[in-house]
Amino acid sequence: MTAYLVGAGPGARGLLTLRAAELIARADVILYDLLIPADALSGARADAELIYVGKQGGGEQVPQEATNALLLEHARTGKAVVRLKGGDPFVFGRGGEEALVLREAGIAFEVVPGITAGIAAPAYAGLPVTQRHLSSAVAFVTGHTQSGDELDWAALAAFPGTLVFYMGVRSLERIASRLVEGGRSPDEPVAVVERGTLPGQRTTLATLATVSERAAAAGVQAPAVTVVGPVAALPGELAWLEQRALHGVKVAVTRARAQASPLAARLADLGAAVVEAPAIRTRSLEAELPILAGYDLIIVTSPNGAHELFAALARQHRDARALAGHRVAALGPGTARALREHGIIADTVPQRAVAEGMLESLASVPVARALIVRAREGRDVLPDALRERGAEVDVLALYETTAEPLDAATLTATAAADWITFTSASTVRFLAEAAGGALPDGPKLASIGPATSAALRERGHEPDVEADPHTPDGLVTALVNYG
């Protein structure tokens, strides 16, 4: 049996190591802390046992002895146990203590390092902890001690480099005064980096003489790291996180959970704080594929439709060759991309990802018999218009969208967002239903296209932006360009 002491990194998406993600995916039991990335557990198995054992200054506490007992209890059963910690398990994470407990019990363990906040948070603030001609050494110090007397303040004050204090927000006045008493200049630059690497990150710049007062005035709260030394004056020159187009903007994403991640990741890459509020889910329908040989046109109206079409073909032990000889049309680049994943390059992809755009693209294409692959609740604009042109049209519904239950915390976070993004009329309808019948009044509303905008107007809301092109990337661009 082996237990794994795993560092989850400082909190930002993407800073979890590959080894950490691999072990999370394999784990039977995960004992996790408060400061792990928000989506760190999304890769865990559905049947994995997830146990919170975090500590929060001034808040909920799980005693270390209880954590040790749980670690031993589950490891002794032979289960794959991951002890998941924010940052690095051996940097102020008490991982060494847990490793000793495991060793004394005769249980093998593996340590998986993580990116520690003392390096990551300053880096995200544009603050290198070492810099040629400014600092050639760095010391990491805990600011969370009972009295501070455990530290050799004279040695720290004389240290020839950068000092990085973890967990010292409530001790800033004491830290600053002790360093000044030890010989550091009151004018020494200080940077307090709050919520490092996360969308709400902010940096308070001060000196040892002013840091306590400025942090209090700014309302700085944990988690934060404090950097003392000449490099702390650099964020004004090297700040990069704040330069991202959506830095500090809170955006709620209402797409189905399976589709939301790419959009959420794109928004997060631009600095947005993303609230995942999947108002809908998709459900496959047991529909038999017709004989395809008689159709001269097959229209697929969504990425879900593309995936469901090939799932239906697979159930018949068939693949992309079944579409050979047919003109295939994809409603939008997302659908075309999904078809390419299955080996099909669409013949027609309208510039406007709506039924009217598809009709314009097919205006000069002779159509005798068409098959439209879509959701059960799709609009009838496309089949009706093709029938008016004299075509025989069959509609094949391979999936449906249904409401996804949203808890109170998610609804509250959505209502507090700066933006709510809608990627279909269904997301409008189901979010309104989840919220008690009406959409939140506070956030601005972003629509992916005309049909979604129409659904918003039916509920008395004018979209603040409409994507052009009508794609998730177009939606992101609309947010970036707003105002």
């509250």: which residue's tokens?
A: 412
Residue 194 CB contacts under 8 Å (≥ 6 apart), including other chains? 200, 201, 202, 203, 204, 220, 221, 223, 224
Q: Where are the beta strands (DSSP E) in 202-276?
A: 202-207, 224-228, 250-253, 273-276
pLDDT digits (tens, 9 = 90+) for 416-442: 999 999 998 999 999 999 999 999 999
Structural contact between residues 120 and 197, judged by C-beta atoms closer than 8 angstroms: yes
Residue 160: pLDDT band (50, 70, 90) is: very high
Active-site positions read: 33, 55, 167
- DSSP class of 168: -
Torsion of CA 122, 135, 112, 7, to 10 degrees: -20
Q: For 2-113, CATH number? A: 3.40.1010.10
**Which CATH fold would you assign to the domain 119-243?**
3.30.950
Pick the CATH number of 250-279+404-481 from 1.20.210.10, 3.40.50.10090, 1.20.59.10, 3.30.470.160: 3.40.50.10090
Structural contact between residues 365 and 397, judged by C-beta atoms closer than 8 angstroms: no
Calpha distance 195→129 (Å, rounded): 17
pLDDT digits (tens, 9 = 90+) for 300-351: 999 999 999 999 999 999 999 999 999 999 998 889 999 999 999 999 999 8
Question: Under DSSP, is residue 102 helix (H, G, I), strand (E, B) or coil?
Answer: helix
For residue 286, pLDDT beyond 60: yes
How high is the pLDDT of residue 335?
A: 92
Rounded to 5°, angle at Cα 20 from 15 and 23: 155
- DSSP class of 31: E
Q: Which two tokens stand for residue 258?
A: 């399976």
Rounded to 5°, angle at Cα 305 from 475 and 461: 35
For residue 56, pLDDT beyond 70: no
Residue 154 CB contacts under 8 Å (≥ 6 apart), including other chains? 182, 183
Residue 483: pLDDT band (50, 70, 90) is: low
For residue 58, pLDDT beyond 60: no
pLDDT digits (tens, 9 = 90+) for 92-121: 989 999 999 999 999 999 999 999 999 999
Residue 60: pLDDT band (50, 70, 90) is: low
Residue ranges of the chain that CATH labels 3.40.50.10090:
250-279+404-481, 283-402
Q: Which residues pair with 139 in a beta bridge?
A: 163
How high is the pLDDT of residue 220?
A: 96
- Give me the phi and psi of 165, to 5 degrees please: -100, 125
Mean pLDDT calculated for residue range 235-250 = 88
**Which CATH fold would you assign to the domain 283-402?**
Rossmann fold (3.40.50)
How high is the pLDDT of residue 104?
A: 97
Q: Which of 181, 204, 174, 183 is nearest to 192 (CA)?
A: 204
Structural contact between residues 2 and 110, judged by C-beta atoms closer than 8 angstroms: yes
**What is the pTM for the complete model shown?**
0.78
Task: Please name the helix (run of DSSP H) or strand (run of DSSP E) that holds residue 429, with its range, or none.
Answer: helix 425-434
Residue 80 CB contacts under 8 Å (≥ 6 apart), including other chains? 2, 4, 23, 26, 27, 28, 29
How high is the pLDDT of residue 149?
A: 60
Mean pLDDT calculated for residue range 27-52 = 93
DSSP string, 337-390: HHHHHTT---SB--SS-SHHHHHHHTTTS--SEEEEEEETT--SHHHHHHHHTT
Question: Under DSSP, is residue 189 helix (H, G, I), strand (E, B) or coil?
Answer: strand
Residue ranges of the chain that CATH labels 3.40.1010.10:
2-113
Q: Which two tokens stand for residue 387?
A: 């029938």
